[in-house]
Amino acid sequence: MRSLLPALLVLLATAAHAADLLAPGDPFPAWTLSDQDGRTIGSASLQGKTYLLWFYPKAMTPGCTAEGQGLRDRWVDFQRMRVEVFGVSFDPPEANAEFKKTEQFPFSLLSDRDRSLAVAVGAAGSTDASVARRISYLVGPDGKVKQVYGTVVPATHAGDVLGHLVAP
């Protein structure tokens, strides 16, 4: 029994995390965040468009870099599918600007400094969280969640999202 306890705790934590996430068909909450250049971007300006919000723990770290590079390398495919891409972290705009410049990301990186969006969508358990959970949401032109990525593999995430976009 003692050897099953760690596995049970992981299973319970995963189930609790999944319960915090929005589900396909749910309305995505309204949001407004600053990008790496200090410009304001929000859900109101994206009405009628499909967009991906990928939450990442910290700029310039290996997993976040791999995930961002995958999205960058498939950028043409996202454009062809008419999908806007935005990275979201708790990093300040200056750190996101350096990350974007270093990795030559063609998409904006947004700063959720007060963690309000992250908490609302399950990317953080509280406003005290030090980093965002690695999750993503594909939001449709109607403002509703099309797809939830509660478990993200950085190296394959771009392909996973694109696969859902082309699937019937």
37 located within any domain:
yes
Distances (CA, A) of 51 to 54, 144, 146: 10, 11, 10
8 located within any domain:
no
42 located within any domain:
yes
31 located within any domain:
yes
Q: Is the pLDDT of residue 4 over 80?
A: no
pLDDT above 70: percentage of residues in the chain: 88
Q: State residue 168's pLDDT score.
A: 52
> What range does the domain containing 66 cover?
24-166
Q: Is the pLDDT of residue 3 over 70?
A: no
Residues acting as catalytic residues: 64
Here the CATH number for the domain that contains residue 73 is 3.40.30.10
Q: State residue 8's pLDDT score.
A: 39
Mean pLDDT of all residues belonging to the chain: 90
CA dihedral of residues 90, 149, 70, 133 (deg, nearest 10): 30
Tokens of 88: 């979201």
Distances (CA, A) of 64 to 10, 26, 33, 94: 23, 27, 19, 16
pLDDT tens digits, 29-73: 999 999 999 999 999 999 999 999 999 999 999 999 999 999 999
5 located within any domain:
no
Q: State residue 11's pLDDT score.
A: 37
pLDDT tens digits, 107-159: 999 999 999 999 999 999 999 999 999 999 999 999 999 999 999 999 999 99
Q: Is the pLDDT of residue 16 over 90?
A: no
Looking up tokens 């300040």, which residue turns up?
92
43 located within any domain:
yes
3 located within any domain:
no
pLDDT band at 9 (very low <50, low <70, confident <90, very high): very low
Domain count, the chain: 1
pLDDT above 90: percentage of residues in the chain: 85
Tokens of 155: 């190296």
6 located within any domain:
no
